[in-house]
Amino acid sequence: MDFHSKNSYIIPLSRFQAQCINKMKKKQQRKISPRVPKIKFRPLDRRYDAQTPDTIDSTVLDSFPYEYPEKDIVIDIETDEFTAVCPWSGLPDFGTVRVNYIPDKCLIELRSFKYYLMTYRNVGIYQEHAANRVLADLVKCCKPKWMQVTIDYRVRGGVHTVASVEFGKKEGK
């Protein structure tokens, strides 16, 4: 017999059976959700200290020669492992860094780029300043014809931020 159909027959429980079932349910509820005392939390008016932007180590960036400087190629680099710190609260800011560039004579060595981004990990820097700083350091490293750096930050406090900055002129613009 299907107990979910309209024609199903429900056998009434005796008063004793109903009492036993209710006692079992109450015991299970106590085991599952024990009484937790209400705790009043105090506000956390605190900040975590962060390093200053002068600790960013751009000397780890390295480049190597581009073998086809007469040919314009757009190189796209992307990583979602970028972390910096809010200079006000000291809380982490997570983001995706996208670098698009047209090289002139040098290419960015990717391992060194990864190490460079790691130096931001404990640095208190505004999101817009981080994009400008990354661009300035990469331009100094490889001297491209054109470069765009975009940092797409994760939502924090209900606000989504994307900071994008460019260097040079891209052909066709």
In a domain, 34, yes or no: no
- Which residue among the candidates 86, 137, 142, 152 is catalytic per the annotation? 86
Distances (CA, A) of 121 to 56, 61, 98, 113, 136: 9, 16, 17, 14, 18
Residue 13 φ then ψ, to 5°: -85, 150
In a domain, 92, yes or no: yes
Record the pTM. 0.72
CATH number of the domain that residue 141 is part of? 3.30.1130.10
Confirm if 96 and 151 have CB atoms less than 8 A apart: yes
Task: Give yes or no for residue 9 having a pLDDT over 60.
Answer: no
CA-to-CA distance for 78 and 97, rounded, in angstroms? 6
Query: 2 catalytic, yes or no?
Result: no
Number of domains in the chain: 1
pLDDT tens, position by position, 101-155: 999 999 999 999 999 999 999 999 999 999 999 999 999 999 999 999 999 999 8
In a domain, 67, yes or no: yes
* pLDDT confidence tier of residue 1, bands split at 50, 70 and 90: very low
In a domain, 117, yes or no: yes
In a domain, 40, yes or no: no
In a domain, 79, yes or no: yes
Query: 86 catalytic, yes or no?
Result: yes
- Which residue among the candidates 2, 54, 57, 93 is catalytic per the annotation? 93
Q: Which domain holds residue 59?
A: 53-168
In a domain, 23, yes or no: no
Scan for tokens 């979910």, then name that residue.
4
- What's the maximum distance between 2 C-alpha atoms anywhere in the chain? 92
Which of the 8 DSSP states describes residue 38?
-
Which of the 8 DSSP states describes residue 71?
S
In a domain, 144, yes or no: yes
pLDDT of residue 88: 82
